[in-house]
Amino acid sequence: MPYNLCSSCKKLRPLGTTCPCRASRPQQRKHKSKNTRVKGRYDAEWQKVRALAIRLNPFCVKCGATEDLTGDHIRPLARGGTNTLDNVQVLCRSCNSRREQAFRKATRPPT
């Protein structure tokens, strides 16, 4: 019968069985970050442009809020937008979410 070496306790276990040392520990959840770096198109260049836009305009352009600010593409990258300062507006997180929902609703194909 083939065996595997448990990477945690370094004991041999039959292939296809779970080691008791792993079964007793709760499964660790992988942290899903809300950070923009998670998405492939948002690189260090975007981080710099977003930070500069927030520094130059430290309030939401829609509601005037000064907390929880985000950088938002006026023309999305998927629609040919760029990571330049003239294509970035500062929105609070709730206005950004509302704008994204409206955008998705407008681009949804008719049923």
What φ, ψ does residue 100 adopt, rounded to 5°? Answer: -65, -40
Q: Which of 5, 6, 70, 60 is nearest to 39 (CA)?
A: 70
Task: Give the predicted TM-score (pTM) of the model.
Answer: 0.58
Q: What is the pLDDT of residues 30-79, one digit of tens each?
A: 555 454 444 556 788 899 999 999 999 999 999 999 999 999 999 988 88
Q: Give residue 36's pLDDT.
A: 44
pLDDT of residue 59: 94
Please tell me what DSSP assigns to residue 17. -
Closest CA to 53 of 81, 85, 97: 85
Q: Which residue has the higher pLDDT, 12 or 85?
A: 85
Overall average pLDDT of the 24-34 stretch? 55
CATH classification code of 43-107: 1.10.30.50
